[in-house]
Amino acid sequence: MQPAKLTLNGSEYEFPVTVGTENEIGVDFSALRSTTGAIALDPGYGNTGSCLSTITFIDGEKGILRYRGYPIEEVAQSAGFEEVCFLLIYGHLPSPEELTRFQKDLTYHAMIREEMKDFFKDFPLSAHPMMVLSAMLASLSAFYPWSGDQDEIDLNIIRLLAKAKTIAAFSYKKSVGQPFVYPRNDLSYTENFLHMMFAVPAEPYLVSPVLDNALNLLLILHADHEQNCSTSSVRMVGSSQSNLFAAIAAGVNALWGPLHGGANQKVIEMLQAIRDDGGDYRKFVNMAKDKNSPFRLMGFGHRVYKNFDPRAKILKTAADDVLRELGVDDPLLDIAKKLEEVALSDSYFIDHKLYPNVDFYSGILYRAMNIPTDMFTVMFALGRLPGWIAQWKEMREDPKAKIARPRQIYVGEAKRAFVPLELRAAGETKKSTKQPVPA
C-alpha cells in the first residue's frame, strides 16, 4: 500500500502503512516525532495501535471475535477452558497429549504455599476480593524466582494459571469465614474451582455438570479481547521487564473499574435497584439518556463493538438454558430482558450504537450459579488470565518491543519564578509568565 502523506507546517512527510491479515490499516507513526517534531495526540488511545499481535481479532462493526483465527462461536461450542488457555498462550490447538500434559500441570501446581494462606488472615472481612486477588498474585513473586530464565518463565506461567483459581476461591472462603478447601488432583480446572468455592469439610461436594459447563463457557468468552484497558496495563507494566506476576496484578487492578470488568457487578446492582424501585426500567433508560445525569446503563456500550457484542449474544441464550436447567427463576433476568428490549428500540441507544456487552448477561449467570456479586469481577479476571499471559508473552518475545512510554502535549503554566513560602505567607505572589499559546 502507498505510504500515507502528512502535511505539517508546509512540509510533506510520508509514513509507511501496515496492513493486517483482515485488511486493517495502520499508519506507522513510529518515526513521527523524529522526522516532524510532532507527536500523535490520541487521548484514550481509540485510534492507536500499540503493537502487532497474532492472538485475537475483533471486528467491532461486524461483531466478530476470533481467538488465533478461530471464531468465538465455534470455540465456545466445542472447546474446554484449558484448551483455550493453551491455544491463546502457545498459539495452536493442543494435541491430545499436549492437552493431557497441560491439564496435569495445571492440576499439580494448583496448591499455594502454606505461608501464603496466612496472608489472607490479615485482610479485613470487608476487603473486596479483587483487591485480595491482586495482592496475592503480586505476592507470588515473593515465592517463585524471576531471573528471566526461559524454563523458569514457562513454569511460572503454569503456576500462575494454576494458582489463580485457588487464590480466587480462598478469597471467597475468607470473606464468608469458612475454612479453605484444597484443590483435588482428580478434578479439571473449572471443577476444581467450583469444588474450592462451594465444598465444606462437613459433607461431600459433587460438582454439577450444569455449573461446570456454564463456568467453562463464561471463562472462554472472557479469555482474551486484544488491547483493552487491563491487557494494555499488563503489556505496559511488563514492558519495563517487571516480572509476570507483577504485570498480571496490574491487569487485575485495571479490570476492577466499573467501566471495564467491574461492570458485571454494577449490572446486577443496577437491575436490583430497578427492582427495588418498583421495576420501572423505562425510568432508568430515561436517566441514562439525560445529559444532566451521570447515570449510564451498565452493561451497555463498548469501545469496539458498535453493532453487537458476539459474547453477549452467546450468553443471552446460555442464561436462559442454564437458569432453566438449574431451576432458577430470577426476576432480574426478566428485568434485564425488558431493559434490553426498550433500550434497543430507543433512538438514543440506536444512534449512539449502544448494545448489551458481555457483562450484561454474565452477572445473571453468576448469580444463578450462587457466585456472590463481589466475586463477579474476580470471575472475569480468571477468564481473562490466559489472554493477559498470552499478550505478555507475545510482547516479551517481540524483538522490537520497547518500554511503553507515551508522550503528552503540555498545556500547563509556562516557566515562572518560584515564590518562596515566606513571601507566599506574606501574601506576595508573582505574576505568571505564561505566554499565550500560538495558534
Task: Give the nearer residue to ligand CMC in terms of CB position, either 183 or 387.
Answer: 387
Going from the C-alpha of 62 to that of each of 69, 309, 391, the distances in angstroms are 15, 9, 24
**CB atoms near residue 133 (< 10 Å):** 26
Residue with cell 482474551: 224
From the list 68, 165, 173, 302, which residue makes contact with ligand CMC (rule: CB under 6 A)?
302
Task: Give the nearer residue to ligand CMC in terms of CB position, either 76 or 288.
Answer: 288
- Asked whether 183 and 107 are in contact (CB, 8 A), the reply is yes
Ranked by CB distance to ligand CMC, the top (closest) residue is 301
Under the binding rule (CB under 6 A), the answer on residue 303 touching ligand CMC is yes
| SS3 state at 17 | strand
End-to-end CA distance of the chain: 34
Calculated CA dihedral for residues 184, 186, 189, 192, nearest 10 degrees = -40
For residue 196, the minimal CB distance to ligand CMC (Å) is 26
Under the binding rule (CB under 6 A), the answer on residue 357 touching ligand CMC is yes
All three cell numbers of 392, joined, read 505478555
Q: From 25-33, 137-145, 245-253, 292-300, give the range in contact with ligand CMC by CB under 6 A.
A: 292-300
Count, residues near ligand CMC per rule CB under 6 A: 20
Going from the C-alpha of 59 to that of each of 71, 216, 219, the distances in angstroms are 11, 24, 21
From the list 228, 231, 233, 265, which residue makes contact with ligand CMC (rule: CB under 6 A)?
228
Element (H, E) at 345: none
CA pair distance 228, 254, nearest whole angstrom = 10
In eight-state DSSP terms, residue 204 is -
Half-sphere exposure of 422 (CA within 13 A, CB side): 0
From the list 159, 163, 173, 225, which residue makes contact with ligand CMC (rule: CB under 6 A)?
225
| SS3 state at 373 | helix
From the list 211, 237, 298, 323, which residue makes contact with ligand CMC (rule: CB under 6 A)?
298
Under the binding rule (CB under 6 A), the answer on residue 300 touching ligand CMC is yes
Pick from 215, 160, 235, 211: which is nearest to 326 by CA?
Answer: 211
Going 71 to 72 to 75 to 81, the CA torsion angle's sign is positive
From the list 314, 354, 382, 385, which residue makes contact with ligand CMC (rule: CB under 6 A)?
354
Task: Give the nearer residue to ligand CMC in terms of CB position, either 282 or 296.
Answer: 296
Task: Give the nearer residue to ligand CMC in terms of CB position, either 181 or 339.
Answer: 339
Which 19-78 residues touch ligand CMC, going by CB under 6 A?
A: none
Active site residues: 302, 359
For residue 221, the minimal CB distance to ligand CMC (Å) is 11
Q: Where are the alpha helices (DSSP H) in 21-95?
A: 32-36, 72-78, 81-90
Backbone dihedral angles phi then psi of residue 432, each to the nearest 5 degrees:
-65, 145
All three cell numbers of 123, joined, read 485482610
Task: Give the nearer residue to ligand CMC in terms of CB position, either 129 or 261.
Answer: 261
All three cell numbers of 337, joined, read 430482558
CA pair distance 174, 178, nearest whole angstrom = 6
Which 334-353 residues touch ligand CMC, going by CB under 6 A?
A: 352
Pattern 238-277, binding to ligand CMC, x per CB under 6 A? Answer: ---------------------xxx-x--------------
From the list 135, 196, 237, 297, which residue makes contact with ligand CMC (rule: CB under 6 A)?
297
Task: Give the nearer residue to ligand CMC in terms of CB position, either 183 or 261.
Answer: 261
Pattern 360-399, binding to ligand CMC, x per CB under 6 A? Answer: ----------------------------------------
Task: Give the nearer residue to ligand CMC in terms of CB position, either 183 or 301.
Answer: 301
Under the binding rule (CB under 6 A), the answer on residue 358 touching ligand CMC is yes
For residue 376, the minimal CB distance to ligand CMC (Å) is 12
For residue 278, the minimal CB distance to ligand CMC (Å) is 21
Task: Give the nearer residue to ligand CMC in terms of CB position, either 63 or 261.
Answer: 261
**CB atoms near residue 116 (< 10 Å):** 18
From the list 275, 282, 296, 313, which residue makes contact with ligand CMC (rule: CB under 6 A)?
296
Q: Which one-letter amino acid corresponds to residue 183?
A: P
| SS3 state at 39 | coil
For residue 438, the minimal CB distance to ligand CMC (Å) is 30
Q: How is 21-35 classified by DSSP, letter by letter?
A: TT--EEE--TTHHHH
Task: Give the nearer residue to ligand CMC in terms of CB position, either 98 or 374.
Answer: 374
- Helix-then-strand count for the chain, H and E: 19, 7
Catalog residues that contact ligand CMC under the rule CB under 6 A. 225, 228, 259-261, 263, 288, 296-303, 352, 354, 357-359
